[in-house]
């Protein structure tokens, strides 16, 4: 037995240099492992580190196990559609990250039309006498229309969305004349071909309270809803909310 392997019944004592040779690393690296406790050791009265062969073999076995283990599966990149971005010109809920995750979990964005939602937007136009109605879902980038009546667009950029202002409220949002409202007067939905003047929207919330989007009605003329019309819109929004919750 070499001088670096001192006598021991079944578990020889090694010097730092001998341990480094077995481990296949530099002496300085072995010293760090000894000092940190990663490799159990002790000091001799003369101040030299010593380690048992069994401890070195255990560390070698652990290294071999890590090398043989399959690499972890790659993490799928986050979908930018549901990743928060800085808000430009519109308010953002405090729970925006969780809200976006909830919208994604519905699986409804870019899905096909469904009669259950289309009936609700049609009823919304009937009870409010508004020519346009939408069920919207708000991602970080878009306001996408799950259902629409009287509107040719299928979506808008998020910063055009009146609904961005509605989802930060508990009560319905009503804008009587968007052309005279500083929040919306320059909005392309107001200045462009759609010519929105009136908006009323009720947030649609999942079971955890995250606002996924709205049920809203719009008109090209300034107006306001009467109390019974607002309540009817609330009831239709409650039905829409129940349908959305079935998807999560």
| Residues in Cβ contact with 166 at an 8 Å cutoff, skipping those fewer than 6 apart | 172, 173, 201, 202, 203, 214, 216
Q: What is the mean pLDDT of the chain?
A: 91
| Residues in Cβ contact with 223 at an 8 Å cutoff, skipping those fewer than 6 apart | 176, 197, 198
Helix/strand/coil (H, E, C) string of 83-120? CCCCCCCCCCCCCHHHHHHHHHHHCCCCCCCCHHHHHH
Q: Where in the chain is the domain with CATH 1.10.1660.10?
A: 5-68
User: CB-based burial of residue 15 (10 Å sphere; 0-12 exposed, 13-18 middle, 19+ buried)?
Assistant: buried
For the segment 150-162, what is each residue's pLDDT rounded down to a tens digit?
999 999 999 999 9
Q: What is the CATH number of domain 80-245?
A: 3.30.450.40
Residue 75 is predicted with a pLDDT of 60
For the segment 101-119, what is each residue's pLDDT rounded down to a tens digit?
999 999 999 999 999 999 9
Q: Is the pLDDT of residue 222 over 50?
A: yes
**How would CATH label the architecture of 5-68?**
Orthogonal Bundle (1.10)
For the segment 43-100, what is each residue's pLDDT rounded down to a tens digit?
898 888 899 989 888 888 887 777 777 776 766 678 999 999 998 889 999 999 999 9
The per-type count for the chain, helices as H runs and strands as E runs, is 8, 10
């Amino acid at each position: 037995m070499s001088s670096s392997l001192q006598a021991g019944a079944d578990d020889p004592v090694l010097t730092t240099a001998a341990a480094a040779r077995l481990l296949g690393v530099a002496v300085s690296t072995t010293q760090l492992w000894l000092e940190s406790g990663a490799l159990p050791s002790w000091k001799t009265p003369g101040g030299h580190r010593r380690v048992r062969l069994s401890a070195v073999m255990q560390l070698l076995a652990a290294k071999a196990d890590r090398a043989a283990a399959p690499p972890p599966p790659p993490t799928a990149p986050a979908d930018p559609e549901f990743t928060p971005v800085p808000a430009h010109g519109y308010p953002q809920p405090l729970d925006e990250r969780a809200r976006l995750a909830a919208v994604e979990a519905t699986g409804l964005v870019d899905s096909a039309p469904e009669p259950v939602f289309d009936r609700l937007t049609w009823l919304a136009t009937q009870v409010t006498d508004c020519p346009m109605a939408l069920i919207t879902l708000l991602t970080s980038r878009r306001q996408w229309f799950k259902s629409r009546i009287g509107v040719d667009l299928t979506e808008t950029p998020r910063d055009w969305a009146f609904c961005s202002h509605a989802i930060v409220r508990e009560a319905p949002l009503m804008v009587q004349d968007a052309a005279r409202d500083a929040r919306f007067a320059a909005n392309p939905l107001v200045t462009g071909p759609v010519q929105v003047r009136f908006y009323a929207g009720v947030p649609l919330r999942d079971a955890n309270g995250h606002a996924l989007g709205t049920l809203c009605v719009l008109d090209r003329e300034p107006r306001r809803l009467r109390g019974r019309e607002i309540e009817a819109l609330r009831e239709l929004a409650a039905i829409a909310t129940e349908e959305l919750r079935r998807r999560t």
